[in-house]
Structure 1
Amino acid sequence: MNQHMRPEPVPFIDIAAQRRRLGTAVDEAVSRVLTHCLFINGPEVTQLEAALAAFTGAKHVVTCASGTDALLMVLMAKEVGPGDAVFCPSFTFCATGEAVALTGATPVFVDVDEATFNMDVESLKRGIATAKRLGLKPKGVIPVDLFGQSADHDAISAVAEAEGLFVLDDAAQAFGASYKGRRLGTFGHVTATSFFPAKPLGCFGDGGAILTDDAELAETLRSIRVHGQGSDKYDNVRLGLTGRLDTMQAAILIEKLRIFEDEIAARNVVAQRYAQGLGNVVTVPHVASGMISVWAQYTIRLPKGVDRNEFAAALKAQGIPTAIYYPKSMHQQTAYRDYPIADGGVPVCEALSDDVISLPMHAYLDEQTQERIIKAVRGALSS
């Protein structure tokens, strides 16, 4: 390569490569919707819900307009409101705590485990004590399956059961992941996920889904999804919102779901190559035993003393993008800094926000391109 030429940029997530693989299937699926013109609650929506139920083993699936709506609709169905405490990790995307705050309830931020980046059960216990001390009523817990790896659902459920809390699994980044041999979607009382385009299973717009084995909850969610309607369309029986997934996105997801298992396997090969190529220079992600991650992000921790901005700039100069999830944990963000934190603080969340950085990760990352990324990372660290 001529040294004056800028290196060909690597995509962070290659949606175009997947699009090529799907060929005309997506175009045909969209075309069918354009032909029948049932853009809201068309037949593909019900079809997708059945396919997602079959994929996860969940009895009921309610698709919706986004991962945030999925969380919010569940909290509304559970009648969460002022005076209630809902526990969530601070090291996560803001939607987790945002949905709680939107109901008028209080998000209480707890710490995460340094190895898995997921909710720390000891910190959850301390958070429950914190909430009680503040006169709040502990109501629910939202473990997040961060970056594609499941949280420790058995341990969290045990604490929740002892305290009478419902568990809402935020699997927005981990649809398709497995915990102890079972796919996510049946842990806790209810699971929320997202089909944002960058997610392992993404649509071509916003979208989400709620999965549960609770028939009554599913029925309530279907009502909330359409303005809280009852059996008579114009007698709304509860507060709701317009939380529907549109038919076109459902049609696209049906096609993408067909190749999803293949893609999960490919993502795991990519993750393995990263671990082999980088394991001795950075802290690579740790997958707990009995778990299969879907690698929504490949997030490394830089060694002490490495300037993260300089590291990112060195990679960018070689055409390699990086991203930081999350430079600020939720309790450090302007909108959330007045909400309570579990006793003992959230030191791991704060440490992670200081040193994590994510590398390109998708199912179509070929070995040659990945070697280029690995070489650039090692070079940036040794300079």
Structure 2
Amino acid sequence: MKISLIDLKRQYQTIKEESDKAVLDVLNNAQYIMGENVKSFEKEFSEFLGAKNSISVGNGTDALIIALRALGIGEGDEVITTSYTFFATAEAISYVGATPVFVDVDIETYNIDTKLIEEKINNKTKAIIAVHIFGNPCDMDEINKIAKKHSLFVIEDAAQAVAADFKGKKIGTLSDLACFSFFPTKNLGCAGDGGMIVTNNDDLATIVKALRVHGSGENGLKAYNILNNIDEVVEEDKSTDNTVYNPLKYYNYLIGQNSRLDELQAALLRIKLRKLEEWTNNRIENAKLYTEGLKDTNLVTPVTQKDGKHVYHLYILQSEKREELCNFLETKGIATGIYYPVPMHLQKVFKPLAYKEGDCPNAEYLSKRTFALPMFPELKAEEIDYIVNAVKEFN
């Protein structure tokens, strides 16, 4: 038996007819940029989360960069985040000219250890980026409490956590700005790159809308007015066609960037969004089968954040013999993945920040032990049984 870490072809087959039609409809309509599918997807995503504003962008990394810029974070500022995450979280902080300040993680949930945040705060600190790693929600109550006490912004890096929740509220609605990725392997993935920024703050939403399209047009002017405390009514011109010609894009008010979700991706994401709850439930059930099957082994299985709903973007285990076990599973046709082999504070690019081994001991410990088993909604019970038996055979 051969089992992939994620099987995108299998998922496509479940929505093939709808997806093919949606793509052809976009091609026939020939409206490729900022069209009706993008507008509808943004609205539907907001409704799904229970948020006021969802602004689509080109990818999850752009989402983080634009979110930081919308908050005015840049040179001389510091942003606190976890050391145990994908590089984009820290990269975005550095990209805007700020300095990432790394905090160790809770050894059980793998999320930022909230008890260690306050000691990292100083007069340069402007924000906390909370990463809901692997789909496991952070303790947002504690993070927001700390942020409020010190007048800091909070950004959720929800790239791996779409459909997760904390105390009954969807991840993505518990911060000033939240960032999502629609990279194909994500729980809600498109057929290329895509991202979303979510906020309940209308002014921040306007600034984000401006920054994603070169700071131009009505939103550029609105954002300029907001940032400069100018009270002026700006009428929106809905008569123009962004695909062919929009004269307003030649009037620029902020230094922004080009980061837009295209119509093809939005059309596919609208279909997948309707399937997301079903797919999420499948992931949770698959995780239960894994955890039950592996309970008598010496492997450490995932722990869900208290009051949280884990959506298992990845099913992560810990093993003292990670390399040997992964090599053994490969001989059985079972794919595995290592997340993450080098914590952020020890990445060579951050060497100038002068972190050293031992600064984030839990992140370092996990980086040597954690790995992922196959996890996707279409994974079959018999495949999980095969994987579990293979793991037990090694043990």
Shared fold, TM over 0.5: yes
Please name the residue that 1:334 is paired with. Answer: 348
The amino acid of 1:85's aligned partner reads E
CA contact (8 A) 1:57 1:185 kept: no
What's 1:262 paired with? 278
Distance 1:100 1:235 in 2: 28
User: Residue 60 of structure 1 corresponds to which residue in structure 2?
Assistant: 53
* Corresponding residue number in structure 1 for 2:124: 137
**Deviations along 1:162-195, whole A, 9 cap, x unmatched?**
1111000000000110111111121011110000
CA distance in 1 between partners of 2:325 and 2:195 (Å): 34
What is the CA deviation profile of residues 199-244 of structure 1, one whole-angstrom value per residue up to 9, with x for unaligned ones? 0010010001011000010000010000111434222111111110
**2:230 maps to 1:214:** no
Relative to structure 1, the CA distance from residue 224 to residue 340 in structure 2 (aligned partners, 3 Å threshold; closer, same or farther) is farther
1:246 aligns with 2:233: no
Note if 1:115 corresponds to 2:108. Answer: yes
Deviations 1:59-99 (A, max 9, x none): 00000110000000011111111110001101000000000
Query: CA offset at residue 288 of structure 1?
Result: 2.3
- The alpha-carbon deviation at position 340 of structure 1 amounts to 6.0
Residue in structure 2 matched with residue 85 of structure 1 by the alignment:
78
Q: Which moved more, 1:220-229 or 1:8-17?
A: 8-17
Q: CA RMSD in A?
A: 1.5
Structure 1 unaligned segments of length 5 or more: list them. 1-7
Among 187, 197, 205, the residue aligned to 2:174: 187
CA contact (8 A) 1:109 1:340 kept: no
CA distance in 2, matches of 1:127, 1:340: 15
Q: 1: CA distance between counterparts of 2:208 and 2:281?
A: 33
Contact 2:60 2:194 in 1 (8 A): yes
Contact 2:61 2:89 in 1 (8 A): yes
How far 1:345 sits from its partner (Å)?
Answer: 2.2
Query: Alignment partner for residue 292 of structure 1, among 285, 291, 309?
Result: 309
What residue identity is the alignment partner of 2:139? D
How far apart, in 1, do the equivalents of 2:378 and 2:351 lie? 39
Give the aligned partner of residue 273 of structure 1. Answer: 289
On the 8 A contact 2:139/2:305 being kept in 1, the answer is no
Query: What is the alpha-carbon distance in structure 1 between the residues aligned to residue 215 and residue 6 of structure 2?
Result: 37
Tell me the TM-score normalised to structure 2 length.
Answer: 0.90
- Note the C-alpha offset of 1:39: 0.8
Shift of 1:289: 2.9
Q: Please give the alpha-carbon distance, in whole angstroms, between the structure 2 residues aligned to 1:42 and 1:139.
A: 35
Instruction: Map Cα deviations across residues 263-316 of structure 1 (whole Å, 9 max, x no partner).
Output: 1111000000011011232100001232111110000011x4x2x221111000
Quick check: 1:108–1:340 contact (8 Å CA) kept in 2? no
Structure 1: how far apart are the matches of 2:304 and 2:63? Answer: 26
Q: Give SS of 1:326's match.
A: coil
Is 1:202–1:253's contact at 8 Å kept on the other side of the alignment? yes
Quote the Cα distance in structure 2 between the aligned partners of 1:287 and 1:280. Answer: 19
Q: Which moved more, 1:170-179 or 1:281-290?
A: 281-290
CA distance in 2, matches of 1:106, 1:34: 43
Runs of 4+ in structure 1 displaced over 6 angstroms? none
1:338 offset after TM fit, Å? Answer: 2.5
Secondary structure of the residue aligned to 1:169 is strand
Alignment coverage as a number of residue pairs: 365
Aligned counterpart, 1:165: 152
Alignment pair present for 1:33 and 2:50 = no
Q: Provide the residue aligned with 2:5 in structure 1.
A: 12
Q: Identity over aligned residues, as a percent?
A: 38
- Matched to 2:347, the amino acid is Q
Measure the CA separation in 2 of the matches of 1:96 and 1:104: 14
SS at match of 1:259: helix
1:377 Cα shift? Answer: 1.0
Aligned to 1:104: 97
CA contact (8 A) 2:346 2:355 kept: no
1:353 paired to 2:356: no
Give 1:158 deviation, angstroms. 0.5
User: 2:140 matched to which residue of 1?
Assistant: 153
C-alpha distance after superposition, 1:112-159 (max 9, x if no partner): 11111001112211221xxx3xxx610001010000111110000001
Preserved contact between residue 119 and residue 151 of structure 1 (Cα < 8 Å): yes
The SS at the match of 2:390 is helix
| Aligned counterparts of 1:337 and 1:117: Cα–Cα separation in 2 | 23
Alignment partner of 1:236 is 2:265? no
Shift of 1:341: 5.4
CA–CA distance in 1 between the matches of 2:16 and 2:145? 46
Q: Secondary structure at the match of 1:188?
A: coil
Q: Distance in 2 between matches of 1:249 and 1:319?
A: 32
Number of the residue aligned with 1:4? none
* One-letter amino acid of the counterpart of residue 159, structure 2: A
